Amino acid sequence: MTANAPSQDVIIYHNPACGTSRNALAFLREAGIEPIVIEYLKTPPDRDTLATLVRDSGLTARALLREKSQAYEELQLADSPHTDEQLIELMTQHPILINRPIVVTPWGTRLCRPSESVKELLALKPGRTAT
């Protein structure tokens, strides 16, 4: 059996230390998709890319924040009045603040928490059904 070539259409912003992220990646691979894997802590998205991820996911920047991080506490983001633009800037400076995994496909962009939600995203692909 040969490995699938990476799909230029699917990207996962991934943290290999995160079980949810590993599971989402496994679901993609089980569906026959070999995504482009971006380990966002090593290669963080720039401000424009992050703003696009926020917009395309339909979430606010605050909804994309990873609350279980030391940086979140240190920056006192729990009750902060930061705008989306300010939060995006903070996430570019501190990529650990970006929640994961984020999966980008031609049929949608989604924060896949829980990891099973990647199946809902895959079901949007023409000709596919959720498994």
β-sheet bridge partners, residue 111: 102
Element (H, E) at 18: none
The DSSP string of 25-37 is HHHHHHTT--PEE
- Would you tell me how many other CB atoms lie within 10 Å of the CB of residue 27? 20
Q: Are strands 36-39 and 102-105 parallel, antiparallel or unpaired?
A: unpaired
Provide the token pair at 99: 């929640």
Active centre residues (catalytic): 18
